[in-house]
Amino acid sequence: FRRCVCTGMRHGTVTVLDFGRPVEVTTFRAEGAYSDHRRPDSVEFGCPLEADLARRDFTVNAMAMDAAGNITDPFGGREDLSRRLLRCVGEPERRFNEDALRMLRTLRFSAQLGFDIDPAALEAIRRLAPLARTLSAERVRDELLKTLASPGPELARSLVSLGLLDKYLLRDAQEAPAPSLRTLPKYARLAHFCFWLEQCGYIMSTEQLLISLRLDGAAVRLNASAVEVLRSGSRDWKRLLRDHGERAVLAAYPKNPALRAVLRSGECWSLSALAIGGHELQAMGYGGAELGRELDKMLEHVIDHPEDNHREILCKLAERKVQN
């Protein structure tokens, strides 16, 4: 090729720039043993095509087509594709031992594509589920989030029942009623999934779980707050808005009617909308950190009693505290 960039030489991959858009080209390769259940200990380049296809995870991923449109399909991938079946290339145990993430990918592909999982593969997952403990939190997190965002998000619960998330869960849990994740907007599924885990006793804290899975701080706080709302049995959107701001909450729940109703109501949920401010409290003798704490208490009071968000009422409350 005239123009190419070395983007993955370890895997024999270059990116070709000759076709008006980047095209990845990878040399056929065979792989040695996987002692860490993730990466091959050795790679052999220049092997026959069938040897390259033999290292794939599923038969539907183990097909190749040449420039003339001729398809090479040594493992029955076309038939499995027509049957909507996820079947491993060769022995499932060997494929999952090579890379333990393939077990989570099996569930994720099934959730995304609506394919059935071959019984032999499912049985191998049950036996080899402890290997998932060797996976990094980031890889597990990504598969979980992709599964939850798929057309079949209920399979996220199969990650739990099959033991693929045991590294992050408690034992001796009990089943609890499970919400239909499929009917929920994608942005709300993680919080409802975590709430279900809490109800079952799989986790003590949503926040702790999401930190363990290496979610960013904003996502941890937002989902933990959403679970708190679910746990309390009320849609405490004003506190969610107070803690995270309108932009973040709207981004996470853009179509939620209860949230929209709170925003339309004009009720106070932020210090800027409070009918009393720092100047009034300073005039009463509040100062420093005490002033900030009193404003927070006033906001908490107004969130619970929106009818009290008037300057006269809040001034009387503040004066009463000063006198006491």
Q: Supply the pLDDT for residue 61.
A: 94
For residues 195 and 223, give the distance between their C-alpha atoms in angstroms, rounded to a whole number.
Answer: 10
Confidence (pTM)? 0.69
| DSSP letter for each residue of 27-73 | --EEE---TTSSS-S-EEES--HHHHHTTSSBGGGS-EE-TT-PEE-
Q: List, as own/partner pairs, every contact residues 13-21 make where C-beta atoms lie below 8 angstroms and the sequence separation is at least 24, other chains included.
A: none
Segment 66-83 mean pLDDT: 95
| H-assigned helices in 134-256 | 137-148, 155-161, 186-200, 206-212, 217-232, 237-244, 246-252
In tens, the pLDDT along 225-270 reads 888 877 764 447 888 899 889 988 888 777 776 787 788 888 899 9
Residue 113 belongs to what H/E stretch?
A: helix 101-113
Q: Supply the pLDDT for residue 23.
A: 87
Mean pLDDT across the chain: 88
Between residues 223 and 171, which one has the greater pLDDT? 223
For the chain, percent helix, then strand, then coil, each to nearest 5? 55, 10, 35
For residues 87 and 11, give the distance between their C-alpha atoms in angstroms, rounded to a whole number.
Answer: 25
Segment 4-19 mean pLDDT: 79
In tens, the pLDDT along 162-172 reads 999 999 999 87
Q: To 10 degrees, what angle do helices 101-113 and 119-128 make?
A: 140
Strand, coil or helix: 154: coil
φ/ψ of 54, rounded to 5, equals: -65, -20
Strand, coil or helix: 190: helix
Q: Supply the pLDDT for residue 175.
A: 76
For residues 100 and 79, give the distance between their C-alpha atoms in angstroms, rounded to a whole number.
Answer: 26
314 CB-contact burial (10 Å; exposed 0-12 / middle 13-18 / buried 19+): buried
Token pair recorded at residue 209: 């779980």
Between residues 324 and 258, which one has the greater pLDDT? 258
